[in-house]
Structure 1
Amino acid sequence: MTLRLTVIGTGYLGVNQVACLAELGYEVLGVDVDAAKIAALSEARLPFFEPGLAALLDRHVRSGRARFTTSLAQAAAFGDVHLVCVGTPQRRDGLRADVSQVRSAVDGLAPHLRRPCLVVGKSTVPVGTAAWMADRLAELAPAGSEVELAWSPEFLREGHAVDDTLRPDRLVLGVSSAAAEKTLRAVHERALDAGTPVVVTDPTTAELVKVAANSFLATKISFINAMAELCEATGADVVALADAIGHDERIGRKFLDAGLGFGGGCLPKDIRAFMARAGELGVDQALTFLREVDAINMRRRSRMVELAEEECDGVLGRRIGVLGAAFKPQSDDVRDSPALNVAAQLQLKGAHVRVFDPMAAGPAAAVFPTLDYAASAQEAAADADLVLVLTEWEEFRDLDPAVLGRVVARRRVLDGRNALDPERWRSAGWSYRALGRP
């Protein structure tokens, strides 16, 4: 019998799961409490941009393999495997993760589970959440011990989510029984047949895998940005430094791109929640280094503002063109976006700031409506005293500095992502500065 799957929560992770699992041949039912979102998804209308996802969703809404509902009772009756993909944002009152959506999903689903099934956690959660969920399912599910819990974190990257889901670089199966492992292996049969590495462990370790991975990536980014601070003080070149140490196979070159630092809806809140959870467990000293990782990351934003003030001899009344609003290219996600943070700081200091992003102008305007938004890079740079490149979109890398130079007031550029070719821009008469480069 082919398994039928439900996805609880239709945010970024959940919608991607629905579309990709349907692509793999499963019947999938997406569930959310937001009726307006469910109505839009039922018509294959995505609330965000992700390359390739809209076409995939449209295809499988039309085929009938991807459907959506607001009813957890319907989901319980439909599914053999229930994937919990709800959000866990940072709490407003501190660093901890807000797991209220996880609790609501479990408390809403469990009373309707009247037959054997597997509930799989995929959200990024504080370690210990899986144990709570298992106890809650045992307490509330009419099927009792025939309802099992497993944990299988997702490792998708925004901008590459479809490929990361269909062709993952590894699978982590956190299970408590052979039956749960067998079911998860069946769900991931195609990836396993393709030779995807798999780690089978317990649910608690599986919970830790995701936050440990994100913390390591954040640490690597902040390390190279700390080196950028030293390079600025000494006249060294952080890009050449990263290339040199990246050849060491123990280190690797990935995630050694110095610049404005990380943002988005994962790394910042995940490292903070990890620190908070360590404190609750009495091992806060184990993760105190993450405070400096966070601090280095935030300093990069302040440093970019300082560079803008240096270049313009004060930004009050200056016209500044900002290229980029999303926290990374190939996304319209502006959550904790370093680019928008810098743009807003410059505006507060009295600059006239005009922003262009190929995909994120709408979401950015919803968060910072007082900024001006342009329809092109040329429009954003028109009459600018300074241009900032703050998101490394390919179209910004490919800009012709001679052509852009015709519309600006002054040929001055700050490269917040080390995305541009310094010699090419300097040869076109631009003053070029970047974080960590001479």
Structure 2
Amino acid sequence: MAKKKSRYVCQSCGYVSPGWIGKCPECSSWSSFVEEVEESAPSAGGKKIHEPNVSAVNLREVRGLETERTKTGIGELDQVLGGGLVKGSVILVGGEPGIGKSTIMLQSAGILSGGRGRVLYVSGEESAAQIKLRAERLGIGTADISILPTNSLEDVLSALDKERFDYVVMDSIQTVSSAELNSAAGTVGQVRHVTYRLVEVAKGRAITVLIVGQVTKDGYIAGPKLLEHLVDTVLYFEGDYSRGLRILRSVKNRFGPTDEVGIFEMSDKGLIELKNYSFADDADRSVSGRVNVPVIEGTRAFLVEVQALVAPTFYQFPKRNAMGIDLNRMNMLLAVLDKKGGLNLAGSDVYINVAGGMKITETSADLALCAAMVSSYRERAIAPETTFIGEVGLTGTVRPVSNMKSRVAECYKMGIRKFYLPEKVEFDKKIEIVLTKDISSFLDMF
């Protein structure tokens, strides 16, 4: 029988060492050695002969498990996943501490255990009693969920060998370690090895595995980047703690779209779905520098509020600050307003904020950002029933964007009737469209 042993490999140059060392003698990099498990050949019998255990199949004869999806019972989560859980898939959920990762996992486990399959909840951070208290608070205290409080991968594999489970929740991957490695739980080698073994089990036994991952101070999932490559789906939790708002975003999905988002609100009963939510504020709109604009996330349109503050500077170099949009994008729009619109903002501090903790990554809000900055600079409030949609180019032209009809429909639902657009849009309701082809004409109309 082959004997398993560990080795240490430099992640920079690939140098192999029998033990951990701080500095690589080959490339001189520090703290680059990661523990790995190697399968050594038997001491007798010469070379190890590979015995294939798989064979090629015809594509026409394949009956994929991807067509079989199971609803989690949480509509927003199902939408982000692309319609539900796929058998044999591995899903990684990351986010800051306290954002709601364990809450949504336990809520999903409670729903799935109600006639949709057997669930094993592996907890490396909480005891069974603590999970029971949280389940009582969420209203699923009587759910048929098997709880396994352990930090050992071997305990998890043993439980899967003894009983048949359809779903496994790992909370969290950084707290589980394998006895095959000598390093502590949470290290790069342990996280990679444990995840790899779980992927093997999921694919081989058609078990859906949901993994909770911790994040670093930079907001990325802790551990090697290979962790995200091994799994099928990567979900990130974001949120505005002051408002209890949570945004679940898909950044990788082998079985669905990668640009969907789910909106939740954190309450004492757990996460509550917000199907028709607007990020725009309903407060008094009689102040300058505020514009509502629709943005597309996946297949959904959301109305968000863009705020701008343009104030005279008292320093040699004016300040530029942006929250929720790319700072470089804001600087480009300021240059276009100056060069093509004749609006001199060189002596002003400019601050941009997207309300509600939302992040705008598309260019459809360019015209609205320009309108907000001009509104603040000229101290002219924008009517609440007005919006601006369009991409602003370096030449000062305003270009149309995709999904214009769905954007207009979302705005109309929220009471907006006047639209500054670069093109006409066919809409079945009565609205006013002001054609805006370039920045100079836009400033004249403003």
Q: Same fold (TM over 0.5)?
A: no
* TM-score relative to the length of structure 2: 0.27
Instruction: From the CA coordinates, give the structure whose radius of gyration is larger.
Output: 2
Answer 1 or 2: which has greater helix percent: 1
Answer 1 or 2: which has greater strand percent: 2
